[in-house]
Amino acid sequence: MLNPFDIIIFGGGGDLALRKLLPAMYRAYQEGNLPEGSRILPTVRTASQCEEYLATAHHALQEFLAKDEYNTKDWQAFSRYLVPVVSNVTEADDNWDVLKNILDEHDSTKSRVFYLSLPPAVYGTCCEILSSKDLITPSSRVVVEKPIGYCGDSAEEINGKIAEYFSEEQIFRIDHYLGKETVQNLMALRFSNSLFENMWDAKSIDNIQISLSETVGLESRAGFYDKAGALRDMVQNHLLQLLCLVAMESPHKLNANSIRTEKLKVLEALRPLVGEDVDNNIIRGQYVPGDLNGKIVPGYLEELNEGASKTETFVAIRAHIDNWRWAGVPFYLRTGKRMAKRCAEIVVQYKKVSHNVYEDSVGNIEPNRLVIRLQPEESIQLTLMSKRLDNLQMQLEPVTMNIELSQAYSNGFHSDAYKRLMLDAAANNPSLFIHRDEVRQAWQWIDPIIERWQEKGKPALYRAGSWGPEDADELLAENNHVWFNTGDKGA
């Protein structure tokens, strides 16, 4: 049973806190996972925001929870956990003393989780003030959001500053994709089922695709996104982390150190892409106006309100992992904004049977395919060949076995990655968080790509509502492969 804890959400009035973090904690309360005596302390900038915070939080929960989740009784009980406070995260003023007094009301051994829902540029300053105000206890943890830095050097600088005040064991670098139940199910599928673990290598698998597609454009992130782009925003963290979980060796035990060790080995084995290798193995794109779900939406430059920008909103990568298990297997990584469908999925495409015993008349024998879908629904699909039951003749067709996890577990449980990760941080369980060495190694692979793009070229254009530039299809066609696109016929 989780012990009572205090979680201090710096930036408690921001979009992430209201849209994700508070709903996550509300769900934890509903499921009995928010221990009595725990407190949630969202920080805001002004006294008026502090006075109005409960009303703000109430409105946010009504807006962002599912219809069957919100009810007045639970809100009234949950609201008693909320203790809003005023705090300036860049200035050590008297408001920090108020925060200290509130925290010191309880036993000093009680866990404190400092969640920095802030721009990474102020992480160091905030940690410095926490230290100077004597708010960091031996049982304190700090949770930091991605992306950490804009390159390897800036990431090292930010991580170094945090490390001046928190040990590595106290630093929880969050990637919410790792908290998704289906991502954890990926490890369960691999390491507890001989059916998959014995066929999880280059001898059986033809290629693996990992796609994170969004239908939204810039929304409120224009300033940040134009400096970051899809490579920094999505590939350096989300996609590479999912790649690690797909490709890693079985850890000695399912604990933080063993998992992180195996993930790091994958990043170290990633074949570097430098110079012309970047041109030959990576496609970058930028969306222009197009039809998305029957509505004409503006292009990137129109949303940005700038005359020109080379920032990529789409990236497709052909990557290779140079080790015994994956030699010769291409990993295709893809992410983009204003895509045809919102979807996050891992597609494991198996090889064809080595010898076909059937005549051509039975139909085309397609290779098996495993699809692990992370969003919008969470599901696992396995496509197998089967005889058609409505035909006396021998006719084969692909049949998909589909496990809809939301239906399989319809007991009121709501999958929520932030809920899982915030509770893990409170329980001091770092298994699903990212070690500093992983951040460093990921940037070592990403930095040469950024440098090449700065030297030459510009993004290919693609219509909003499409699956990206045609060049991305050609990238796979070079290996006689095609993208698996959710919603397309046969997908």
Residue 211: beta bridge partners?
A: 334, 345
Sign of the C-alpha dihedral computed for residues 188, 189, 192 and 197 taken in this order: negative
Query: Reading across the β-sheet that carries 171-173, which strands appear in turn?
Result: 85-86, 39-44, 5-10, 111-116, 140-144, 171-173
CB atoms within 10 A of CB 246: 21
Structure tokens at 356: 């076909």
Tallying the residues shown for the chain, one arrives at 491
**Half-sphere exposure at residue 462, Cβ-oriented, CA atoms within 13 angstroms:** 27
Cα 405 to Cα 135, 214, 249, 409, 421: the distances in Å are 41, 22, 26, 6, 19
Could you give the angle at the alpha carbon of 8 between the alpha carbons of 110 and 263, nearest 5°? 85
* Nearest partner of 354 among 199, 195, 189, judged by Cα: 199
3-class SS of residue 7: strand
- Amino acid residing at 94: D
Measured distance between the N- and C-terminal CA atoms of the chain, rounded to whole angstroms: 42
Structure tokens at 177: 């994709």
* Nearest partner of 339 among 389, 302, 380, 286, judged by Cα: 286
Please count the helices (runs of H) and the strands (runs of E) in the chain: 19, 17
Structure tokens at 350: 């198996």
Q: Tell me, yes or no, if 481 is annotated catalytic.
A: no
Cα 206 to Cα 230, 328, 332, 372, 460: the distances in Å are 27, 9, 11, 16, 28
The CA dihedral of 50, 51, 52, 55, to the nearest 10 degrees, is 110
Q: Tokens 């076909």 map to which residue? A: 356
> Of residues 58, 106, 176, 238, which has the active-site annotation?
238
**8 Å CB contact between 321 and 247:** yes
Residues 451, 442: Cα–Cα separation, whole Å: 15
Q: Name the DSSP letter for residue 168.
A: G
Residues 18, 60: Cα–Cα separation, whole Å: 6
Q: Tokens 């036993």 map to which residue? A: 107
CB contact set of 58 (below 8 Å; sequence gap of 6+): 75, 79
* Nearest partner of 367 among 350, 390, 344, judged by Cα: 350
Catalytic residue positions? 238
